[in-house]
Amino acid sequence: MKYRVHLTEQRHGRQDPDGSSYLTEYVQGDDFVEWELIDNICAETFVTAFNMVKGVDESRANELSPASWIAWNRYVAGENPGKDWQDNINLLNQEVLYAQKQNHCNFTVEEHIINPEVMDLNDILGICNAIHFEFESRLLDHQKQLEEASAPDSDNDFKACLERLNKLVHLVEKGPNINSINNNFFVIRYNSDHVSANYPKLTDEMYNCFQQNVENGDLFSDFFTVGKDLGHAYHTKDDLLVTNKECKQQSVISGSVHFGFNPYHFGNKDECLQNQIPEYANYQNWCKTIKADEYGYNYWEPKYRLGRAPIGSLINETYDSLLNKFNNTPYISKVELID
């Protein structure tokens, strides 16, 4: 079975203030990209979740929630890594001030504004963690909507602002040199509010499929959870997230996927890249040092493996052919499973 993403030259649907693109009606593309689903339990469960969304009858749609929808994002970096990083810091500072002015978050200049001229990367990561923790706390008032991953209302500035903050925090956390090569990363959320509460729960067998190599062009099950998991807390050295018991692991297999590709990782089928080999031991040592288990995180269990679950292998593409497709037909118009 194959997973196909349709691409078009012209946009279909809308682009929301948070930068995400949304579709509720789907059309055949001018081009497409395909992945062969691999033989593991996560891919099998993905098919189940995908068909749950596809099976929602249009009669169940209403003004607040369509039968199904696609939300997708493309993240591109690497043309000018130092400038990109500084630009993202400036945008994050602007968004923090905007959220403060709109009373979306209780930000302060002293605790939540980054000054890279006098701060090192650890200081900057600390501020990113503080920003993340504050807007996560604010999201609690909207927890029911978030758990169902409901399609955001286009004029809901609160959620759009927090989504922008979330995106910018993640970009700044990557540091000034991480994007020295051309990175492309896509997230596609195919969802229906009418079935999302019933998505299949992850089991230990599924967690054992998780791997770190997620930017080789292949298809991975997406997080489908708001917040950071324990691995992300480790990468950003967010001790506070652990001690406040705010880590959120991926808990379901949904209709959501992501894939990334760059010239360095493209086509590499190793579960762990050479530069990732020390990562797991460092992660375990960090968890041990901060006593993560005392806060309810048994970090040695499958649930806390680093990475995501691979579910599809890219078919008949080179790095250049894939990049050309997304540059020439940059808009997603439909996703489907085909035999």
Residue with more model confidence, 56 or 20: 56
Question: Based on the structure, what is the number of domains in the chain?
Answer: 1
| Mean pLDDT confidence for 253-268 | 91
Record the tokens describing residue 334, joined without a space.
């439909």
pLDDT over 90 for what percent of the chain?
59
- Identity at 193, one-letter amino acid code: D
Name the pLDDT band for 278 (thresholds 50, 70, 90): confident
221: phi then psi, degrees, rounded to nearest 5: -65, 135
pLDDT band at 42; cut points 50, 70, 90 = very high
Q: Which of 31-40, 163-172, 321-330 has the lowest mean pLDDT?
A: 163-172
CA Rg, the chain, in Å? Answer: 20
Local confidence band at 82 (pLDDT 50, 70, 90 cut-offs): low
pLDDT at 166 (0 to 100): 83
DSSP string, 158-224: HHHHHHHHHHHHHHHHT-SSTTSS-EEEEEEEEE-TTTGGGPPBP-HHHHTT-BS---BS-EEE---
Sign of the Cα torsion 101, 122, 19, 251 reads negative
What is the residue whose two structure tokens read 């923090």? Answer: 96
Residue 178: predicted pLDDT: 56
Domain span including residue 168: 2-338
Q: Read off the tokens for 107.
A: 């930000």
pTM value is 0.80
Beta bridge mates, 35: 3, 314
pLDDT tens-place string over residues 136-164 = 778 765 554 444 444 444 455 777 788 78
pLDDT tens digit string along 5-40?
999 999 999 987 767 899 999 999 999 999 999 999
